[in-house]
DNA sequence: AGATAAGCGGGGACTGTCTCCGTTTAACCC
DNA sequence: GGGTTAAACGGAGACAGTCCCCGCTTATCT
């Protein structure tokens, strides 16, 4: 489903450059980075940017899908190496680190787990929810995680932990600490 | 230290109207509400707004100090009615509810507990930290709360819980649930 | 090479922020 | 009351960002 017809060569070139520049810009200035500026730095007009990516959200998502999907794949790797409970904790840790370090990703992951918006069906949202579901269900089967909790709730809570850690501003030192508080609370 | 010289009558009038309108606007449109629009709705020029409140943050704070201080006072009321551990939990609940319901307050409370910015010394930051400290220390003395946790960390974690609850979008139903997860994790 | 439609890009309308400075007016003194 | 003065006002305008529109360019196919 990537594309019914292959893109024209120039379109493809511009698309790729925009993505590359956007990832840098969002990482540097956060999700509020100037879109016209991204267009300029990619050497295209703003019209081109808005045609490829109608909203800021769309660009944000496109710029980080690969990273998100890597995180999804990472869930399965970790699941092979550690017992379910620890695997979940470790994956959440990596998720939080990513959320904080790559500045633009916070907004993206946040909207991916927001209830009630139409953003629920984005590619990266699906990927995250899938990964979370596998780890959560395994941990519940093992008996190290409460049964009265849904995968998406775990993602939301992890987002909360990221927010709290960000406030502490200690270059991520707090993440493990705060996350362990959460996992303690999540035991049966 | 309210004011060395009393304000001129017109200045005081404008100041008050701005505050009233600002509280409404922030509640309605969130922290991003248009400042020029607030000025217009208050019937003053934008210059007047910016003279009284040099930054968005300043206006936000001025608009909600009374609410914040009420929350500070509430801490002591609750402390009289409930044993320390429960008192802390109840106060955090009210704090989270306020954070979510009054849209503009989230940004304000967030920056109040952010480490490393100069915003640390704001009036409402001090008020919150004081209230948190009293409840946290009481609970620790009682033995229902870990000793290796600081008051400000509790505030940051509560902010995280608010964020997570907000994502769930269930009109605050999740708050108790998510908060109890946190308090479970915070037990010794 | 020529036809054609996909794609480009930047000008411009619009919204919001924030400052500057000429004008107004409250407060004080006689 | 009337005059003086400094505090306060207000809105024009410079600037930055978003986003759309439409005449021009160019990749692709024959």
**Residue A84 placed within a domain:** yes
Choose one of A26, A54, A82: the last residue of a domain: A54
**What CATH number is associated with residue A87?**
1.10.357.10
Is the domain of A83 the same as that of A113?
yes
The separation, in Å, between residue B18 CA and nucleotide C13 C1' comes to: 30
Looking at the predicted structure, is the pLDDT value of residue B121 above 70?
Answer: no
Biggest CA pair distance of chain A: 56
Is the domain of A40 the same as that of A132?
no
Looking at chain B, the whole-number percentage of residues with pLDDT higher than 90 is: 84
Is the domain of B24 the same as that of B69?
no
Looking at the predicted structure, is the pLDDT value of residue A188 above 90?
Answer: no
Is the domain of A89 the same as that of A122?
yes
Tell me the nt nearest to B43, Cα to C1'. D10
**Residue B59 placed within a domain:** no
**Residue B129 placed within a domain:** yes
* Least confident window among A1-10, A167-176, B151-160: A1-10
CA–CA separation, A37 and A21 (whole Å): 10
Is the domain of B111 the same as that of B166?
yes
**Residue A59 placed within a domain:** no
The separation, in Å, between residue B16 CA and nucleotide C29 C1' comes to: 30
Biggest CA pair distance of chain B: 56
Instruction: Give B143-184 pLDDT, tens digit per residue.
Output: 999 999 999 999 999 999 999 999 998 778 899 999 999 999
* Selection from B164, B109, B43 nearest residue A149 by Cα: B164
Is the domain of B87 the same as that of B139?
yes
Is the domain of B16 the same as that of B84?
no
Domain of A140?
A: 64-186
Pairwise CB contact (< 8 Å): B159 & A159: no
Q: Is the CB of A34 under 7 A from strand C?
A: no
Is the domain of A100 the same as that of A43?
no
Instruction: Give A108-131 pLDDT, tens digit per residue.
Output: 999 899 886 655 568 888 999 999
At residue A147, the 3 state secondary structure works out as coil
Tell me if chain B has a CB within 8 Å of the CB of A113: yes
For chain A, the domain total comes to 2
Strand D and chain A: which residues 127-156 have CB closer than 7 Å?
A: none
Spell out a b/e string for A15-34, using b for 16 or more CB atoms within 10 Å of the CB, else e: bebbbebbbebbbeeebebe
> Can you give the pLDDT at residue B119?
56
Is the domain of A6 the same as that of A33?
yes
Pairwise CB contact (< 8 Å): A164 & B157: yes
3-state SS record for B67-98 = HHHHHHHHHHHHHHHCCHHHHHHHHHHHHHHH
Is the domain of B82 the same as that of B162?
yes
Average pLDDT along chain A: 93
Tell me the nt nearest to B3, Cα to C1'. D7
Q: Is the CB of A28 under 7 A from strand D?
A: no
Q: Which two tokens stand for residue B68?
A: 């914040």
> Can you give the pLDDT at residue A150?
95
**What CATH number is associated with residue A1?**
1.10.10.60
Is the domain of B129 the same as that of B167?
yes
Tell me if chain A has a CB within 8 Å of the CB of B119: no
CA–CA separation, B161 and A161 (whole Å): 8
Q: Which residues of A touch B161 (CB under 8 A)?
A: 160
Pairwise CB contact (< 8 Å): A183 & B185: yes
- What Cα–Cα distance (Å) separates residue A22 from each residue in A45, A124, B137? 14, 17, 47
Tell me the nt nearest to A38, Cα to C1'. D17
Pairwise CB contact (< 8 Å): B167 & A161: no
CA–CA separation, B113 and B159 (whole Å): 9
Pairwise CB contact (< 8 Å): B159 & A163: yes
**Residue B2 placed within a domain:** no
CA–CA separation, B2 and A40 (whole Å): 49
**Residue B137 placed within a domain:** yes
**Closest CB from A161, A169, A185 relative to B160:** A161
Is the domain of A44 the same as that of A68?
no
Instruction: Give A13-28 pLDDT, tens digit per residue.
Output: 999 999 999 999 999 9
**Residue B160 placed within a domain:** yes
């Amino acid at each position: 489903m990537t594309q019914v017809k292959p893109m024209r060569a120039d379109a493809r070139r511009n698309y790729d450059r925009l993505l590359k520049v956007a990832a840098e810009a969002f990482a540097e200035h956060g999700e509020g980075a100037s879109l016209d500026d991204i267009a300029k730095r990619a050497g295209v007009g703003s019209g081109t940017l808005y045609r490829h990516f109608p909203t800021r959200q769309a660009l944000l998502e496109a710029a980080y899908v690969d990273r998100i999907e890597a995180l999804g794949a990472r869930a399965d790797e970790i699941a092979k190496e550690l017992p379910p409970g620890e695997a979940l904790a470790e994956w959440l840790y990596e998720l939080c680190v990513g959320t904080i370090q790559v500045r633009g990703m916070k907004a993206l992951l946040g909207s991916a787990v927001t209830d009630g918006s139409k953003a629920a069906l984005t590619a990266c949202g699906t990927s995250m929810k899938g990964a979370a579901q596998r780890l959560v269900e395994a941990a519940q089967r093992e008996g190290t995680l409460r049964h009265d909790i849904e995968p998406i709730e775990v993602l939301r809570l992890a987002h909360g932990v990221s927010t709290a850690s960000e406030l502490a501003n200690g270059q991520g030192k707090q993440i493990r600490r705060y996350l362990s508080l959460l996992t303690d609370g999540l035991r049966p």
